[in-house]
Amino acid sequence: MAFLCNWCSYAGADLAGVSRLQYPPNIRVIRVPCSGRVNPLFILRALRQGADGVLVSGCHPGDCHYLSGNYFARRKFALLKNLLEYVGIEPGRVQFSWVSASEGGKFSQLVNEVTQEVKALGQNQKLVKRK
Amino acid sequence: MRNPFIPRLLRVERVVIETADNNIKSFHLSFLMKEDEEAFSYLPGQFAELSVFGKGEAPFGMASSPTEPGLRFSVNKAGVVTTALHRLEEGEMVGVRGPLGRPYPIAELKGKNLVVVAGGFAFTTLRSLVKYILDTARDDFGRIDILYGVRNPGLFLYKEELEQWSKRDDLHLVLTIDREVEGWEGKVGLVPNVLKEIAPNPDNTYALVCGPPIMLKFTLPVLRELGFPPERTILSLEKRMKCGVGMCGRCNIGPKFVCRDGPVFTLAELAQLPDEGL
Amino acid sequence: MKEQMKYLKLSKEEMANLLDELRREFRVVAPVRREGLILFEEIGSGKEAQLDFGNSRKSPKDFFFPQMEVLFSYQLSDNELKIEEPQPEPRKTVIFGMRPCDARALLLLDKIFLEGEVQDSNYRRRREENIILALGCTHPRRTCFCTSVGGNPFGTEGIDALFIDLGKTYVVEVLTQKGEELLRDRLSEADEESLKSAERVKREAESSMGPQVKAKELADLNLLDIFEDSFWDQVHEKCLGCGICTYLCPTCSCFDVIDEKTDSGGERIRLWDSCLYPLFTLQASGVNPRPTGRERMRQRVLHKFKYFADEFGQPSCVGCGRCVVSCPVNLDIRRVVNELVGGKA
Amino acid sequence: MADLIAEMRQAARRLLEEKKVDLIIGFEKGTLPLRSSPCFIRHPEDVDRLTWDSSCENNLAKYLPGRKEKIGIIAKGCDSRAIVGLIQEKQLEREQVVILGVPCQGMLDRWKMEQLLEGREVLEAEERGEELYLKGCDFERTLPRAELLHRSCQVCRHRNPVLYDLLLGERVAESPVPDEYAEIREFERKSPEERWAYFTKEISRCIRCYGCRNACPFCYCRECFVDAEPLWVGKTIDLTDTQLFHLVRAFHLAGRCVDCGACERACPMGVDLRKLNKKLEKDVEELFGYKAGLSLEELPPLATFRPEDPQEFIR
């Protein structure tokens, strides 16, 4: 599950597509207006619903369309990532990145890597609602 | 023993948008199983818990008359379940538990005149009652007055039927809207004021009232002034409900559960209870 | 009646063996110590059962009215909806060590779930199938007030057999046929002397009960009068509005019903709910007949001690004292009842 | 202690008599040994209900948001920090409260005592200086008070109120424990599996009574995320739902929690909630150099940022 900022990473993913760069098809993209919009609840909900990995990607520091959304997000994500690892969630399950609209290459490489890492971790067993 | 929490299945046969603001839809439902239809034997004033699977249940009074096939519910879009109901399309499945609660005391009403007072979308079970009387034994009852008020003409439920009823000489239908609108030929004014104006005779008469709390607050004193005793003033109440069978503990007014002991109460019964809002 | 009653005997050392023997045939639930808490759980060995404890933190009502219960599940395919009820626990359950107050609480829950026009079939099945071996209270705690609400430390209502702790042995009062069938071949007859000791233990326990709670007096007050009393304006102020008292209570029975969706269907789930939560009575229209802690607290107290008492002749409280022990702000229901009654005297 | 209580009552009486406040929020004697109970006093003649001892465990700041009256409040260190936080978060005007600060020697942990006594009931208790005398129907014990303090109190660095209008009693020494995060560091050193197992075991006891939430001075939301639509976290007591509830609850307190321990003391099931709260407190301090409830001027850490905030974890 990937939450991509509309102004950068989502455009980066688009560019990757237009440039015919290959990346694994098993990510589900949710476009968000800013990485600052990503409530930690979204990430936890994704895990609960059985996502094996979650990627949040926004604009590089200084490039936020809303000036500072990603800076605020960065603080939240730092704490959330630590907290999840602290209770025993594998570090690779929830990942964060900065990808600009021009970084189609970085995006495809990122998704390749993240997918591989999540695959290596296997199916997520923690925080998943078993039904 | 049947598990009381298992709903019976019905199919949505027809969805009718009732009001101009699209906020109230009527759902015409038919039972999937014949035995369920037979088991669901109800009278006007009773209600049922309507399920949208995956979203939950909510209580609604039956708007249909037992003399009509299937069930009809008119639903105002307000919460999670009602919003989900509004998204339903014809052919989809819903669940129903019921019939629940006490109906209007029809046997007691026989031989009496009736004054039906309704406001907003609370007309549903009163419509069921009137329709039931018309279909079964109109002659058993005396004069029937209906006063029905809404904010503007677009908000009346069952417009076609009201049109027909207005032509009948065995019903005295008065429709009123809150504020003057061009082309409106009925009354203009709030329900309590119009009630005062038409001043129905209380002798040998029952008043049946259903409407939003604010309407009740101003209508009940008018009925009292007109001479309707509390024993002959009947209300149908609304509270948050879940189980519908007096177990889950939330819809009580003092010791009485609206789902189990109501929703139909006389004003005299309510006077014995503490005030927890109407 | 007394003549027909059967008294058996068991040495304390034999208890674990008895429970192990019962485990061969039944699911056996008993008080166990978990992280320092006494809780009722299924035991994997007779030794796990705690024999010396005040009372469990949570009431054992869970085994009859679980905090979370799937009412039914459904599968949706091609617009065909199939409803399935969950399979009941295949084995009968023996609950050992329930206190008489908690057993009596089940009779009060019966009034809600079984004795109305509509009966809860799942609850009924559990009531019929479970066997209750209760443990009398030799040392009632200072938070206990069962005798104020119609109970007794050695009350026998709702119990199949009552164990009376005499120090090294138990005298077992067999109270129902279910109890007799379960125990008659497993225990020996009690002797005259143990019976005398048992009587003494009972008397001592009863006389050690703390001050009375004026439950009866509250039930006798005029409803409309106490409902509007200014007492409610301030008594709730310290209440945090959490659900601890209602969730630990053996007689609270309010619940919520929710739906949970899965990929191909979903479940309808019953969950405990609390009258102290603001959303409990909030209507979709936004109207809430109990908008503040004042109305919610009043509902809790009057439901237990007035509405229920008026309808069934006894309060919906068995005096277990759990709410007294665990209220985070020490809002003591005994004091609330007594002050309400006192203000009207 | 008696002097302190007398001083407290006198101060409260004066505030009420001079109409400087409409209401005093403090503690009164509870109905059980080692229990006191929050109380609300409106008349000078009632001030003698006020009391103070090592069982005044609730965080009274809980009662402040949403009130209209002018309030005098008895505040120990953690209450005062919560008041600072509430003012900072605009839930309270500084002028609305008269803070009667009380230096605190730490509050007793009922849970610990219960463990120690293996559930035996305390019938009588008395604080004798640094010792605590406990008596039950079949035991009598004198225990060192320091060991029976709540974990939060044992490491507390703000036993003396940080904001007050009047300080009652004498200032006290702060906790001598060198590292308030020692317990967290120790937990961090465990393997992920051990940590997950512990988190699971603790949360599995949760009964979702919301005692933790409702005891917390910072849980003042009109609508909590567990009640609000859309429901991101399920309402059930299925382990996943309770785990998510506790993760988000703790997260919402990041940079706000003052480690008063109110949540944990309220919990009837003894869930180790502080393991989550204190971890976030530690991370906020280490990553953003912020400590909650100390300054009225500073912005809460998640309401601000620095361009140079750590971001090694971002790819």
What domains can you pick out in chain D, each with its CATH number?
A: 1-107+158-176 (3.40.50), 110-148 (no CATH), 179-315 (no CATH)
Please report the number of interchain residue pairs, chain B to chain C, with beta-carbon separation below 8 angstroms.
Answer: 129
Measured between beta carbons, the chain C residues lying within 8 angstroms of B78 are 284-285
Element holding D215 (H helix, E strand): helix D211-215
Question: How far out from the chain centre does Cα B258 lie?
Answer: 14
Which DSSP category does C336 fall into? H
> For the residues B151-170, what does the mean pLDDT come to?
91
C88 versus D140: the higher-pLDDT residue is D140
Is residue D270 over pLDDT 60? Answer: yes
> Structurally, how many domains does chain B consist of?
2
Model confidence over B12-65: pLDDT tens digits?
A: 999 999 988 889 999 999 999 999 999 999 999 999 999 999 899 999 999 999
Nearest to C198 by CA among C171, C173, C179, C175: C171
Residue D18 scores a pLDDT above 60: yes
Looking at chain B, which subunits does it touch, using at least 3 CB pairs closer than 8 Å as the criterion? C
Select from D124, D69, D60 the least CA-distant residue to D260: D60
DSSP assigned state of A103: -
Chain C neighbours (≥3 Cβ pairs under 8 A) are A, B, D
Parent domain of A45: 2-121
Q: Structure tokens of C321?
A: 């004292």
pLDDT band at A131 (very low <50, low <70, confident <90, very high): low
Please check whether residues B231 and B116 belong to one and the same domain. yes
Q: Find the CATH number of the domain harbouring A73.
A: 3.40.50
Q: Among partner residues B2, B54, B242, which is closest to C256 by beta-carbon distance?
A: B242
Across the interface, of C142, C237, C248, the residue whose CB is closest to D123 is C142
CB B29 within 8 A of CB B40: no
Burial of B111 (0-12, 13-18, 19+ CB in 10 A): exposed
Q: Report yes or no on A27 lying in a domain.
A: yes
What band does C4 get if pLDDT is binned at 50, 70 and 90? low
**How far away is chain D from the Cα of C52, in angstroms, using its nearest Cα?**
9
* Interface B:A, ≥3 CB–CB pairs < 8 Å: no
**What count of residues does chain D have?**
315
Task: Mention every residue, 6+ apart, whose C-beta is less than 8 A from residue C14.
Answer: none
Which residues form the domain of B24?
8-100
Q: Where are the domains of chain C?
A: 6-207, 215-344
Smallest Cα distance from C1 to chain D, Å: 36
In a domain, A129, yes or no: no
In this prediction, residues C58-85 reach a mean pLDDT of 91
Q: Is the peptide bond before B263 cis (omega within 30 degrees of 0)?
A: yes
| pLDDT tops 90 at residue D57 | yes
The band of C3, judged by pLDDT with boundaries at 50, 70 and 90, is: very low
Q: Quick one: which of B222, B221, B259, B255 has its CA closest to B238?
A: B259
Residues of B in contact with C295 (CB under 8 A): 276
Do residue C335 and residue D31 have CB atoms under 8 angstroms apart?
Answer: yes
Kindly tell me if the per-residue pLDDT of C5 is higher than 80: no
Check if C84 contacts A (Cβ < 8 Å).
no
CATH label of the domain that carries residue B54: 2.40.30.10
DSSP conformation letters of C166-199: -SSEEEEEE-SHHHHHHHTTTSEEPPHHHHHHHH
Check whether residue B110 and residue B231 sit in a common domain: yes
Residue pair D86/D65 in contact by the 8 Å Cβ criterion: yes
For C157, other C-beta atoms within 10 Å of its C-beta total 18
Mean pLDDT calculated for residue range D206-219 = 96
Number of domains in chain A: 1
The residue-averaged pLDDT of D8-36 equals 96
Rounded distance between C-alpha atoms, residue D272 and residue A86, angstroms: 14
- First-to-last C-alpha distance (Å) of chain D: 57
pLDDT of residue C307: 95
Q: Are residues B117 and B171 in the same domain?
A: yes
- Which of D306, D232, D160 has its CA nearest to residue A40? D232
Cα B50 from Cα B32, distance rounded (Å): 15
Which chain C residue shows the shortest CA-CA distance from D114?
Answer: C36
Burial bucket for residue D124 (CB in 10 Å: 0-12, 13-18, 19+)? exposed
Residue-level pLDDT at A32: 95
C334 near C250, Cβ under 8 Å?
no
Instruction: Name residues whose C-beta falls within 8 Å of residue C13's C-beta, 6 or more positions apart in sequence.
Output: none
Name residues 128-147 of chain D within 8 A of C (Cβ). Answer: 137
pLDDT value, residue B79:
85
**pTM confidence score:** 0.93
The answer to whether C163 touches C19, Cβ cutoff 8 Å, is no
In a domain, A127, yes or no: no
List residues bridging with B26 in a β-sheet: B16, B74
Does B271 map to a domain?
Answer: no
Kindly tell me the burial class for residue D315, based on how many C-beta atoms sit within 10 Å of its own C-beta (0-12, 13-18, 19 or more): middle
Residue in C closest to D271 by C-alpha: C35
Kindly state whether residue B221 falls inside one of the protein's structural domains. yes
User: Cα Rg for chain C, rounded, in angstroms?
Assistant: 22
pLDDT tens digits for range D145-190: 999 999 999 999 999 999 999 999 999 999 889 999 999 999 999 9
pLDDT digit string (tens) for D108-122? 999 888 888 888 889
Cβ neighbours, 10 Å, residue D142:
12
Please judge whether C36 and D114 are an interchain contact, meaning their C-beta atoms are less than 8 angstroms apart: yes
**Mean pLDDT for chain D overall:** 94
A130 is a domain residue: no
The greatest distance separating any two alpha carbons of chain C, rounded to the nearest whole angstrom, comes to: 72
Region at D53 (left for phi over 0; alpha for psi -120 to 50; beta for the rest): beta
Contact B155, B175 (CB under 8 A): no
Helices B124-136 and B159-167: angle between axes, nearest 10 degrees: 40
CB contact under 8 A, B53 and C81: yes
CATH assignment of the domain containing B171: 3.40.50.80
Q: Cβ contacts (< 8 Å) between A130 and chain D: which residues?
A: 240
pLDDT digits (tens, 9 = 90+) for C177-208: 999 999 988 988 889 999 999 999 999 999 99
Q: Which two tokens stand for residue D90?
A: 């605009």
Q: C257 pairs with which residues across the strands?
A: C270
State how far the Cα of D103 lies from the Cα of C263, in Å rounded to an integer: 56
Q: How confident is the model at residue C89 (pLDDT cuts 50, 70, 90)?
A: confident
Q: Min CA distance, C4 vs chain D (Å)?
A: 36
Contact yes or no for B206/B232 (Cβ under 8 A): yes
Helix A40-48 × helix D239-252 angle, to 10°: 170
Can you name the residues that pair with D36 across neighbouring β-strands? D29
Alpha-carbon distance of B99 to D33, in angstroms, equals 53
CA distance D152 to chain A (A): 20
β partners of residue C32: C39
Query: Cβ of D225 and A79 within 8 Å?
Result: no
Which DSSP category does B227 fall into?
T
Shared domain check, B67 and B51:
yes
Nearest chain A alpha carbon to C260: A131
